[in-house]
Amino acid sequence: MSLPYYILRRALQAVPLLVGVVVINFLIIHLAPGDPVLVIAGEYGTTPEYLAAMRAKMGLDKPLSVQLLIYLKTTFMGDLGHSFVWNQSVLRIILEFVPATFLLMGSSLVLSVLIGVPLGVWASRKPYSLMDNTITTVSLAGYSIPVFWLGIMSILLFSVRLKWLPTQGMASIASGYTGSAYALDVARHLVLPATVLALAQLALITRLTRASLLEVMSLDFITTAWSKGLGENWVIFRHGLRNALLPIVTIIGLQVGYLFGGAILTETVFAWPGMGRLMLRALSTRDYPLIMGMFIVITVMIVLVNLLTDILYAVLDPRVRVTKK
C-alpha cells in the first residue's frame, strides 16, 4: 500500500469516529442534570413564561432528537453554535483560548520528549546500575505526584519563597511589554506550568524508552552489529533506538489526550488563560454549545494527532502499510 493511499484510508476511517463522538457528547451533556436557563436567570424572580421563552430562544424546547439533528447539520457546516453565557460565537470564543493551551501543551510535550528519551537511553545503557535505579525511582515518583499538588508546591517554592518565577497568569498585565520583552515575559510565566504538566509525561516516556530499548538491544540484529565492530553510540542510536521508536511514538500520540486533562488542572492552579479554565467555566454555567464545541475541537485535535502518529508509524516501519487481502 502506497503512503498517500494509506494516509487517505486512515483519514476516512476518522470520519465515523468524529460523528460518533459528536453524538455521544451531545447526549451525555443534555441528559446530565441541570438546566442552563435557570443558571442564566440566576436568583431573580423570573416567571415560567420568561423561562419558556428563554428555552425557545435557545432551542431547548424541541425534542432531544430534533436538537441532535439540528446540531449535527450546523456542526458539519462549520457552525459550532452560539454561547448562552458569553453571547458570542462558540468558535470565536474557543479560538481566543486555544493559542494559550497549544503553547502550554506543546511546550510540555517537547520538554518531556527532549528530556525523557535521552534519560531512557541513558538508563538502558547500564541496566540495574545506580544511575538506572535513580532514574527509575525519580520517574516513578514524578508519575505518581498529582499535578495540582505539584503545581501548588512549585508556586510556594519558586514564586512565593524564592521569588524566581511569576505566580500566575500568562503575562504581566501592568508591565506593558511588547516585542521580545513580551515574549520573554510569557516564557517566564510558562516555565512552571509547562514543567509541572510535563513531569508525568516525562516519567512515562523515560520508562517506556528504557524498556523498549532494552528489549531491542537483546535481539539478534544488534548482536550482529556488535560483531561488526560498530561503536556503542552507532549501535544504540542508529540500530537500537530507531527500532525502539514505535512504542515511544505511540505513547507520545496517546499523551495528547491526557495532556488536555492535565491542562485543566494546571491552568486552574496557575490561572493560565487556556481551554482548561474555559472548560471549567462552561461546565459550571451549563453552557451546552460551548461545552460541545470544546469537546469537538479537542476530539478533532486528538484524531489529527493519532493520524499523524499512524503516518509516522508507516514511515518508520513500512510493514504497517501491509494489509491482508
**What pTM does this model have?**
0.75
Average of per-residue pLDDT across 79-107? 84
Q: What is the pLDDT of residue 175?
A: 66
Q: What is the pLDDT of residue 29?
A: 75
HSE toward the beta carbon, residue 144, CA cutoff 13 A: 6
Average of per-residue pLDDT across 119-130? 84
Q: What is the pLDDT of residue 198?
A: 86
Q: What is the pLDDT of residue 43?
A: 53
Average of per-residue pLDDT across 50-69? 78
Contact 36, 60 (CB under 8 A): yes
pLDDT tens for 147-198 read 888 888 888 988 888 888 888 888 777 666 777 888 888 888 888 888 888 8
Average of per-residue pLDDT across 115-123? 87
Q: Where are the domains of the chain?
A: 90-284
Average of per-residue pLDDT across 205-229? 83
Average of per-residue pLDDT across 263-268? 80
Q: What is the pLDDT of residue 44?
A: 56
- Cα separation, 284 vs 196, in Å, equals 25
- Give the contacts of 256 (CB within 8 A, at least 6 positions apart): 105, 109, 301, 302, 305
Q: What is the pLDDT of residue 324?
A: 44
- Rounded percentage of the chain residues whose pLDDT exceeds 70: 90
Average of per-residue pLDDT across 227-237? 79
Model confidence at 26, in pLDDT bands (50, 70, 90)? confident
- Cα separation, 302 vs 25, in Å, equals 15
4 has a pLDDT exceeding 80: no
Q: What is the pLDDT of residue 207?
A: 86
Q: Does domain 90-284 have CATH number 3.60.150.10?
A: no
Model confidence at 325, in pLDDT bands (50, 70, 90)? very low
Contact 207, 190 (CB under 8 A): no
20 has a pLDDT exceeding 70: yes
| Residue of 205, 195, 161 whose CA lies nearest to 272 | 195
| Residue of 156, 162, 155, 173 whose CA lies nearest to 266 | 155
